[in-house]
Amino acid sequence: MNVKIMPKLILIFLILILIAGCASPVNLTGKTKKFSITAKQWSFEPGTIRVNLGDIVEIRLKSIDVTHSFILSAFGVNEKLEPGKEIKIEFVADKTGEFSFFCNVPCGRGHNNMNGKIIVA
């Protein structure tokens, strides 16, 4: 190989490594945070959850009265909650901010109050 080309190839290789490192996803250095959320007419309890960036979030969901749903669009969650059944969801808190969750199954006059938030700091 030409001696003049080798330093240029090494420089290009180092630049590519640097760019790849900058584009890496959030490291999973956080802890697993476990929560239980109960859906009932017309609220989620608890209504607010706080986690840290990089945490693995595990939530056990259940409805204690009628069919509800749990929508957390920011993390790709869309689950139907049948009365008396528990489901588990899990996701990585890979972005900071306040993210709303809500029920999209009409469940009575207070349905619009069925929302909450997850705060990732």
Query: Would you kindly state where each structural domain of the chain is located, as residue ranges?
Result: 32-120
- Tell me the pLDDT tens digit for each residue of 80-102: 999 999 999 999 999 999 999 99
- Among 39, 41, 34, 33, residue whose Cα is nearest residue 86: 39
pLDDT band at 29 (very low <50, low <70, confident <90, very high): low
Over residues 15-27, the pLDDT tens digits come to 656 555 555 555 5
Using DSSP, state whether 20 is helix, strand or coil.
Answer: helix
**pLDDT at position 54 over 60:** yes
Res 13: pLDDT: 60
Give me the mean pLDDT over the 44-61 stretch: 98
Residue 6 has pLDDT above 70, yes or no: no
Q: What would the CATH number be for the domain defined by 32-120?
A: 2.60.40.420
